[in-house]
Amino acid sequence: MNYPGSEIVAALVEDEQRADRLRASLRRNGVRRGEMDRFALNPAGQHHGLPLGGDEDTDAGAKTGSSGAIAGAGLGGAVGAAIGTAVAPVIGPSAIVGGMAAGVYAGSLAGALNSMGAHAEATHPVVRPPGVMVAVRVTDSRVVGAIVSTMRDGGARFIERACGVWANGHWSDFDPVAPPRVVALDRRP
């Protein structure tokens, strides 16, 4: 059967054995087999959504790298030229060009890395950790609390709620890169 617009509660556990124990516990608490799905969830960036693999065409942090590289190259070139000018009487006029080239290289690298790191920290949303996902199609909204409680007791590291398509016993439109609606998140390492 196909159930579009189904309410789904899903838990992420570390491995298949925990997923099996969680499914058994959910069955003991009244969830039918056809209302549960289990599937592996790869680490972020490894969901193969693109022809060559991965999830996104570019890294969000890389978008600011070019402007940081340009700023760093300018500053590094000026510092390198100044140092080259200072040592030119000892080494010769090529010290100015060499100092400038080294400064441009070092400054562009430092500027790119600095700007990418700052941007990446600020923009990353909650990401599902890797593991085994156990999803339940909720047929009675009054039991959501009991399902979440069973999932927590079953060792779930991550619990989310969603609205999706449930078809033939599976959460058929699950999107691993869509931002989740987090119910509970265990931040243990």
135 and 119 inside one domain: no
Instruction: Name 185's bridge partners.
Output: 158
10-residue mean pLDDT profile of the chain (189 residues): values are 90 96 96 95 68 52 63 67 75 75 70 60 66 96 94 94 95 92 75
Q: What's the pLDDT at 120?
A: 47
119 and 133 inside one domain: no
Q: Which of 104, 123, 142 is the last residue of a domain?
A: 123
Q: Which of 123, 146, 174 is the last residue of a domain?
A: 123
17 and 66 inside one domain: no
Residue 49 maps to a domain:
no
Domain that holds residue 134: 2-44+127-185
39 and 84 inside one domain: no
142 and 171 inside one domain: yes
Closest CA to 84 of 70, 69, 72, 101: 101
Domain count within the chain: 2
Q: What's the pLDDT at 84?
A: 64
CA angle 7, 180, 131 (to 5 degrees): 100
118 and 152 inside one domain: no
Residue 110 maps to a domain:
yes
Closest CA to 59 of 121, 139, 138: 121
Q: C-alpha distances in angstroms, 110 versus 78, 103, 116? A: 15, 10, 10
Q: Which of 123, 140, 160 is the last residue of a domain?
A: 123
